[in-house]
């Protein structure tokens, strides 16, 4: 793996690890799944395949951010707006 790709992979892992702290099922669950996913692909040598995996990881980051934003939005909505359906 080229050094530039290695840096990108490490940065991706650190970002995902940071985002996993607030994961709904717990940080330990997220960390173990993240580690397993990275270990599964540790032997990949093809730069194009590595770039595809990095792109998939960045997609996961965006999905996690959307999940956290939605959770915060729901909490704020529940706190400040009354539910008229009841």
Rounded Cα distance, 31 and 17, in Å: 7
pTM over 0.95: no
Question: Residue 72: which of 30, 24, 33 has the closest Cα?
Answer: 24
Q: What percent helix, strand, coil does the chain show, rounded to 5?
A: 80, 0, 20
Tokens of 83: 């539910």
**The predicted structure's pLDDT at residue 83:** 66
pLDDT tier, 79 (very low <50, low <70, confident <90, very high otherwise): confident
Question: Residue 1: which of 40, 33, 37, 47 has the closest Cα?
Answer: 47
Could you give the percent of the chain with pLDDT greater than 90?
Answer: 69
42 pLDDT higher than 80: yes
């Amino acid at each position: 793996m080229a050094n530039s790709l290695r840096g990108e992979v490490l940065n991706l892992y650190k970002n995902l690890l940071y985002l996993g702290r607030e994961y709904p099922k717990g940080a330990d669950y997220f960390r173990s799944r993240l580690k397993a996913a990275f270990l599964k692909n540790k032997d990949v040598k093809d730069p194009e395949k590595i770039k595809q995996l990095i792109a998939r990881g960045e997609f996961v980051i965006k999905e996690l951010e959307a999940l956290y934003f939605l959770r915060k939005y729901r909490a704020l909505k529940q706190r400040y707006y009354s539910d008229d359906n009841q």
